[in-house]
Amino acid sequence: MASTVQPTSSLKRRDSMPTRESDLLTITPLGAGSEVGRSCVYMTFKGKTVLFDCGIHPAYSGMAALPYFDEIDPSTIDVLLITHFHLDHAASLPYFLEKTTFKGRVFMTHATKAIYKLLLSDYVKVSKVSVEDMLFDEQDILRSMDKIEVIDFHQTLEVNGIRFWCYTAGHVLGAAMFMVDIAGVRVLYTGDFSREEDRHLRAAELPQFSPDICIIESTYGVQLQQSRSVREKRFTDVIHSTVAQGGRVLIPAFALGRAQELLLILDEYWANHPELHNIPIYYASPLAKRPVSCDGKSRWASEWVV
């Protein structure tokens, strides 16, 4: 469902009616509007068009996993902004760049671009869908890499009269929140974000400018969580108790982002408990090792992390 609003400014009365259709700012979720997955938001204003994110739905395969691209004309999009590398925010990008009429420009941060290639290549390798249902292949990923441009945090760029810049979002390495300015109207698109600093990521920044419109991630918006210190203590207490009794602990975790944070928590805990030094910590995903080097830590210094 599209949402249409009339932007206000200090030079206009708030109740004044727009004189042209282009004066209406229209926001259309093509995915994740009332679901979790395939984040993709289409925005038009003053004849300018922006697409935020380009994900897939993890519960579906093939064309059914895509955002509702048939609701728009991709050739009209001026710029596509990707907030981070997770599949539900970026995995339909090779399809969109290579198999639609899109001819605009696409931007993401340096770290997002680096990990995007790793993650999507892994996605193609482990995917169990038929060849006919595959949305893209390795060659499509490589071709998309040639079209992706990078943006630094706080760097301001302009494409066809659309000014935009980005802030750190927390969440995962390279994640960004984009502020877009069209004709003086500012729209903030957060993507997934975290205002809680952890061991390898800063918290999401507070933008220096207040947006006129905020399109915000709200998956956990109505949930109350325990403090980080309480959650970490519960986590490490269970692990310590289990291994002290001769047990083994298996921790399923996302290879990119979550795995690195859990390893850092355990590394710190092991360092403070010498009685655990003879118990190794294994991480069994080659993909999980990559973002550690992207983050400036080429290897784990601790002998118990292998």
213-257 pLDDT, tens per residue?
999 988 777 888 888 899 999 999 999 999 999 999 999 987 777
Cite the residue boundaries of each domain of the chain with CATH code 3.60.15.10. Answer: 3-215
What are the DSSP calls for 157-206, one per residue?
EEETTEEEEEEE--SSTT-EEEEEEETTEEEEE--S--SS--SS-PPPPP
Cite the residue boundaries of each domain of the chain with CATH code 3.40.50.10890. Answer: 228-294
CATH for the stretch 3-215? 3.60.15.10
* Interval 73-107: pLDDT, tens: 999 999 999 999 999 999 999 999 999 999 999 99
Q: Which element (helix H / strand E) includes 142? A: helix 138-147
- How many Å apart are CA 269 and CA 243, to the nearest integer? 13
Evaluate if residue 3 carries a pLDDT over 80: no
Q: Which CATH architecture has domain 228-294?
A: 3-Layer(aba) Sandwich (3.40)
| Token digits of residue 139 | 């060659």
Q: How confident is the model at residue 284 (pLDDT cuts 50, 70, 90)?
A: confident
Report how far apart the first and last C-alpha atoms of the chain are (Å, whole number). 49
> For residue 106, what are the contacts with CB-CB under 8 A and spacing of at least 6?
79, 80, 81, 82, 93, 97, 147, 148, 149
- Quick one: pLDDT at residue 113? 96
Distances (CA, A) of 171 to 102, 197, 235, 297: 29, 9, 19, 18
